[in-house]
Structure 1
Amino acid sequence: MRLSRFERVRERLRRAYESGRDSVRARRTRPAELPVGAEVASPTSPGPVAPPAAPVVGAPPPTEVHASTVSRDDADVPHALRIAAAWSWRLIVVGVVAWALIMVVGRIKIVFIPLAVALLFSALLAPAVGWLLRVRLPRSAATTVVLVGGLAAVVATLTLVVNEFIKGVPELSANATEGVRQIQDWLKTGPLHLSDSQLNRYIDEITRWVNENTSSLTSGALSTAATVAELLTGTLLVVFATFFFLRDGNRIWRFLVRLLPVAARWKVDDAGRASWETLGAYVRATILVAFIDAVGIGIFLVAFDIPFAFPLIALVFLGAFIPIVGATLSGAVAVLVALVDSGPVTALIILAAVIGVQQVEGHILQPLIMGRAVAIHPLAVVIGVAAGVVLAGITGAVIAVPLIAVINTAVRRLAARRVPDTPPDAVVVASQAP
């Protein structure tokens, strides 16, 4: 009897506990109190129904507030105008930042340009350093051997070009005088039919222009000492920067990456290494294309016994580093020398050879050798070369296109929505499964 009473008490306590627990849960999940007169949502009544508002006579129609607006005043502005204004101020900010960067680069171009040239040389010589490292040569020794060998090749080539140019100057001067006389005769007897008085007037105008600009030419000559000092300083900076880029380039890059936030390191590292591969591919492909151009045009120059054949070949080789513009200018110089030395027929043959080589370069060599990794639109190339010439002369024209290629690759990698590959030296710590 006592046991049954105890069980009844326990059952009552259990039911009281469950009832209290259910009431607490109901209060926690109860919706906010609705205003008086509103109906509770149910399957037959999907939600609270508010009493209809009375219309106000003379009030303007309600304005629809877009999700992109922060006030009713913004909602009064057309959506297209808001979008245009948003784009405009963002483009203005980007333009101001770009202008500031250009001004900074212009101020420190004596440092920026040698560093850019050193990066080009490093991208060119890095495979040779890697090969010497694979044969167990110390890193400093491998870098020194490659750098000294590269400098020796450049000095030997420049010495040979200068010697050939000095030997051919007397002959070219005599041929130039004869060429000028032939041009004068053609102007008289050709389709223009210029008279002696007209030729003399044009010659006098050219002479007067030279005399009027003598002061500017003299001031440029007076600044030769400063130019030579800047050239020597830039050359030393290129040599030292190339040495340290080749020896410690990987450590320098990893130090710079560690300065960034942790979340951005892998992305920036992936973009930087892809850009370096693009720069190396561009430099090697450009050298190969320049060599083929120089050999192709040089064969015609040697076959027709054009003076300054070797210097012209070197000029064509160097001109190929400036896409589109450089090849045209170097080919024009070769045609003019052929015209002065051998007459118009030989000049036309050399012109045809230059055009043919350039067509082969533009339609076969460039797409085949460079590939899609460094493909840049010709308009971007022309604009980049023009901007480089304005900012830094010939050197700016040389480094403009590889700079555009590197920036293009970096932006594409940073904008790509993918997880970069795990670095080979990364340490991944995984927790044990429970």
Structure 2
Amino acid sequence: MGDGAGPATVAGASRQHEAARPPAPPEGLALLPRADPSHPVPWRTIVATITCVVVVLLGYLLLRQLGRVIAWLVVAAFVAVVLAPAVDVVQRRLRMRRAPATAVVFLLGLGLVGGMMYVFIRPIVDQVDTFVASLPELVDDAREGRGAIGRFIERYDLAEYVEDNEARVQASLSSAGTPALGVVRSLFNGIFALLTILVLAFLMLLRGPELCRGALGLISLRNRERVRLVAADAARAVSGYMFGNLLISLIAGVATYGFLRIVGVPYAEVIALFVAFCDLIPLIGATLGAIPTIGLSFLHSTPAGIAAIIFYIVYQQFENHVLQVTIMSRTVDVNPLAVLVSVLAGVELFGFLGALLAIPAAGIIQVIVRDLYDERVGRLKGEPTVGAAERPVSERSKERRRAASGWRPEVP
């Protein structure tokens, strides 16, 4: 017998070698590089990682410091997007330049807002003047125990309480100036923020086309048309939603005013304006406006309160099933869950303004995601983004490219 190994021996050794070999990694992980413990991580990678972490941290701190300015820019951008169609119409119909058309739209908008504020504030000022004029008489009634104030003081022994706690009352009155200063400071800050937002929105409207052309110029020629169409789609969604929401709020205010005038509840114009403002808030705005209105109607009379409950139940159904469907049919259809999440996030971040801007922001995100998805798969949308006759970006881009190249369909 020779010294060479037989076929059985070679096969057994091969099987032992295969068994000793580590299992192959999955197919998806086969291309990943294996870590070699004998070679440490390069110092350049460590420095780059630390630099990225530091830059992200500094960016976060910078955003926190500039949070108010960023909020102003966001609000101004939404105002500019809402007013842009009106500026375009004035510029086209009246054949005006961009600057005069923007000024005309802004003056009309400021006049409308100023008129609503006058309607809301005038009754309050009248009541304050009446209270100041009757203050001496009210003080005499309180001292003599006459009138509603005098009876209230006698019923709860407030005069005895004031005499027993005179030092504490004087200290409270002397420190009442501090909250007043805070209110005045907040008022001036609000006026400054409002003026800043208006100036920013005016400049965005004035230089908006130039800024858009400059931003599109930074994008590659291959993707420029697609980005322009997606941006225009999102802008139409925002402006359409804003105008639809304003129209529904106006209808709510007018309906409330007519009802309150019929039942005889005082200060109908103030309450109606309050309901219109509340109706701007998505989901819960109409309910927030209805609750105090029903309470004031009950203070006027019990039949008026019952009539107010019936009125708001009927109007709520009319708004949800008729107005929302009719007016909002040409705006972006946002998922209800996305609406709720966006409203909660907007209120948490920016308060009342966040609630107003939450749904348009969610609409922009949904439009961008949907159009980018349709561009990738090249199919028609399951539901329209803006309007019933809209087609996906991919189809419109194909038609434009075919028209530019002179392509014509073959006729059999």
Q: Determine the C-alpha separation between the residues in 2 that align with 1:164 and 1:318.
A: 17
Residue of structure 2 equivalent to 1:323:
282
CA 1:58–1:139: 2 relative to 1, 3 Å: closer
Letter in 2 for 1:277: R
The answer to whether the Cα contact below 8 Å between 1:389 and 1:396 also exists between their aligned partners in 2 is yes
The answer to whether the Cα contact below 8 Å between 1:133 and 1:142 also exists between their aligned partners in 2 is yes
- Taking the TM superposition and a 5 Å limit, the aligned residue runs for 1:226-237 are 226-237=185-196
Residue of structure 2 equivalent to 1:408:
366
Residue of structure 2 equivalent to 1:255:
214
Question: Does residue 1:287 correspond to 2:268, yes or no?
Answer: no
The answer to whether the Cα contact below 8 Å between 1:293 and 1:358 also exists between their aligned partners in 2 is no
The answer to whether the Cα contact below 8 Å between 1:164 and 1:310 also exists between their aligned partners in 2 is no
Selected match of 2:88 from 106, 126, 130: 130
Selected match of 2:115 from 136, 145, 156: 156
Residue of structure 1 equivalent to 2:256:
297
Superposed displacement of residue 275, structure 1 = 0.5
Q: Determine the C-alpha separation between the residues in 2 that align with 1:147 and 1:53.
A: 89
Superposed displacement of residue 109, structure 1 = 3.7
The answer to whether the Cα contact below 8 Å between 1:168 and 1:308 also exists between their aligned partners in 2 is no
Selected match of 2:76 from 95, 98, 118: 118
RMSD (CA atoms): 4.1
The answer to whether the Cα contact below 8 Å between 1:275 and 1:406 also exists between their aligned partners in 2 is yes
Q: Determine the C-alpha separation between the residues in 2 that align with 1:376 and 1:144.
A: 33
Selected match of 1:307 from 247, 266, 277: 266
Superposed displacement of residue 154, structure 1 = 1.0
Letter in 2 for 1:371: S
Q: Determine the C-alpha separation between the residues in 1 that align with 2:61 and 2:32.
A: 42
The answer to whether the Cα contact below 8 Å between 1:111 and 1:234 also exists between their aligned partners in 2 is no
Residue of structure 2 equivalent to 1:383:
341
Q: For the pair shown, which has the larger CA radius of gyration, 1 or 2?
A: 1
Q: Determine the C-alpha separation between the residues in 1 that align with 2:61 and 2:340.
A: 21
CA 1:102–1:324: 2 relative to 1, 3 Å: farther
Unpaired stretches in structure 1, ≥5 consecutive residues: 1-50, 75-96, 172-180, 182-195, 197-210
- Taking the TM superposition and a 5 Å limit, the aligned residue runs for 1:60-79 are 63-70=23-30
CA 1:102–1:331: 2 relative to 1, 3 Å: farther
Q: Determine the C-alpha separation between the residues in 2 that align with 1:100 and 1:375.
A: 38
Q: Which has the higher contact order (CA 8 A, sep 6+)?
A: 1
Residue of structure 1 equivalent to 2:49:
none
SS at the partner of 1:316? helix
Q: Determine the C-alpha separation between the residues in 1 that align with 2:395 and 2:176.
A: 55
Residue of structure 1 equivalent to 2:353:
395
Residue of structure 1 equivalent to 2:101:
142
SS at the partner of 1:150? helix
Over the matched positions of the two proteins, sequence identity in percent amounts to 26
TM-score normalized by the length of structure 2? 0.66
Superposed displacement of residue 279, structure 1 = 0.8
Deviations 1:363-417, CA, capped at 9 Å, x for gaps: 2221221126411233322222222222222122111221111222122222322
The answer to whether the Cα contact below 8 Å between 1:381 and 1:401 also exists between their aligned partners in 2 is yes
CA 1:158–1:59: 2 relative to 1, 3 Å: same
Q: Determine the C-alpha separation between the residues in 2 that align with 1:406 and 1:349.
A: 40
Is the deviation greater in 280-289 or in 109-118?
A: 109-118
The answer to whether the Cα contact below 8 Å between 1:118 and 1:239 also exists between their aligned partners in 2 is yes
Unpaired stretches in structure 2, ≥5 consecutive residues: 1-10, 35-55, 132-147, 149-154, 156-168, 379-393, 407-412
Letter in 2 for 1:259: L
